[in-house]
Amino acid sequence: MRIGIDARTLSYEHTGIPIFVHDVLQYWSEYKKDDEYYLYSNRDLNVDFELGDNWHIVIDKHRFGGIWVQTRLRRLLKRDKIEAFWEPMNFLPARIKGVSYYVTVHDLAVYLFPKFGAVTDSILERLLLKKSCKRADKIIAISESTKRDIATHLGIQDEKIEVIYNGDSPYKNKAVSYSEDTGKEILSKWNLIKREYLLFVGTIEPRKNVGTIVAAYEQLRDTSEYTGKLVIAGKQGWKCTKIIEAIENNKYRDDIVVTGYISEAEKECLYRNAQCLVFPSLYEGFGFPILEAMSVGLPVVTSNVSSMPEVGLDAAFYVEESDLHNEEIIAKVIHDALNISDEERIKLRDKMNRIVNSHSRLDSAESIYQLIAGKGQEYGKNINC
């Protein structure tokens, strides 16, 4: 089968969706050698794994990726006689007769909450997301929560939506991947001491609720004996100005570390040496930091909304939806997570291990392949959308 993939994410920073797409394609390159694969992009790709002769990189330069998908990509798919096309980034091009279409929808954040994204992103979501889902032969949702959102808000039939989780933690059942000296260098870079800091991992933007995390940290310091630091690990995102100002104006500014974009080794080191992950996001399609933290035995404070309780199950400390902007409540939940007994900590680790081991990147990549290559011949006939 000739399989086409929108591979633009391989030109992005190695976070979130790019990591997911990278892992799927790397698995296919190693284990699925009977098909022809075409990686399409409007800009140069960074492929750090070996591709066989059955892999083809097609670069068609265009400034705007969204416009490129809706106009030029369709022509390339027809030219290369693609039989099945996978779009891992929400928006499919117009249908082509005989080509089966698959789209992965990660979340409906900007569709449901326009304030979570730039105006252009909101407009694109409103114009294209529902149409894309209708064009698809199968929709891959990365959680049951996302599936419910697609069915409820876009009016898509349940049977058209397949839930395939994005994968698991890169640290699952693995030893530390960096040397002891490297670990010391990473911690000293930000003047951190093992087990003496709280950690947030993610883009600094309103949806991640970082402003409330900063306020809750101040509340925790004011009302308890906690003296550790707060580490905010991730790049600055959309509409982050007010969040940065809140950090700068915080009473404990000298103890708040804003790392910016971090390497894989730095992220792993920060996870392995923190006291608690603080991740009370307002909405997530999945929530990778929850699994990443649990895989190294790190207690997790998160939100009881969207997909987060689906991932954290009974092994996380939850903030209710009504309290997500209440720094006093969040500070209390963090305090509770930091002060569990040794017996409770052992039980918590057992629960976290069960959750972490129930997710598999290999299974996710295999499931997507089977959906596309195993069932691809059944689809591609409906071209009314």
Confidence of residue 15 (pLDDT cuts 50, 70, 90): confident
* pLDDT tens profile 153-186: 999 999 999 999 988 999 999 999 999 999 999 9
pLDDT tens for each residue of 173-229: 999 999 999 999 999 999 999 999 999 999 999 999 999 999 999 999 999 999 999
Q: In a 3-state reduction of DSSP, which class is residue 266?
A: helix
User: What is the per-residue DSSP string for 246-259?
Assistant: HHHTSTTGGGEEEE
**Position 244: which residue type?**
I
What do you get for the CA distance between the two ends of the chain, in Å?
A: 24
Binned at pLDDT 50, 70 and 90, residue 119 comes out as confident
Res 346 pLDDT > 70? yes
Evaluate if residue 17 carries a pLDDT over 90.
no
User: What is the chain's Cα-based Rg?
Assistant: 22
Average pLDDT of the residues of the chain: 94
Predicted local confidence at residue 375, as pLDDT: 56
**Using CA of residue 241, residue 243, residue 244, residue 246, what is the dihedral sign?**
positive
Selected residue with higher pLDDT from 149 and 237: 149
CA–CA dist 154, 103 (Å, integer): 14
The label of the residue with tokens 């249908």 reads: 95
**Model pTM score:** 0.92
pLDDT tens by residue, 236-282: 988 899 999 999 999 999 999 999 999 999 999 999 999 999 999 99
Task: Take residue 285 and report the two structure tokens written for it.
Answer: 């399609």
Give 7's pLDDT tier (boundaries 50, 70, 90): very high
Mean pLDDT of 49-75: 94
Distances in whole angstroms, Cα of residue 80 to Cα of each of 9, 40, 128, 145, 208: 21, 11, 25, 36, 40
The neighbour count for residue 60, using CB atoms within 10 Å, is 13
Can you list the domains of the chain with their CATH numbers? 2-167+361-378 (3.40.50.2000), 180-357 (3.40.50.2000)
| Helix pair 327-338, 210-223: axis angle to 10 deg | 70
Contact 311, 355 (CB under 8 A): yes
Rounded to an integer, what distance in angstroms lies between the CA atom of residue 43 and that of residue 153? Answer: 33
288 neighbors 262 (Cβ within 8 angstroms): no
For 133-155, what is the mean pLDDT? 97
Bridge partners, residue 230, by sequence: 198, 256
Which pLDDT score is estimated for 336? Answer: 98
Evaluate if residue 384 carries a pLDDT over 70.
no
Q: How far apart are CA 70 and CA 92, in angstroms?
A: 7
Which of 77, 75, 101 lies closest to 88 in space, CA to CA? 101
Instruction: Give which of 81, 111, 105 is closest to 92, Cα–Cα.
Output: 105
Can you give the pLDDT at residue 378?
53
Q: What is the pLDDT of residues 281-328, one digit of tens each?
A: 999 999 999 999 999 999 999 999 999 999 999 999 999 999 999 999
Matching residue, tokens 């949702």: 141
The amino acid occupying position 243 is I
What mean pLDDT comes out for the span 6-16? 86
pLDDT tens per residue across span 253-264: 999 999 999 999
Q: What is the mean pLDDT of residues 48-72?
A: 94
More confident: 15 or 356: 356
Helix (H, G, I), strand (E, B) or coil at 300: strand
What pLDDT, on the 0 to 100 scale, is given for residue 376?
Answer: 45
Cα 285 to the chain's mean position, in Å? 7
Cβ atoms < 10 Å from Cβ of 345? 12
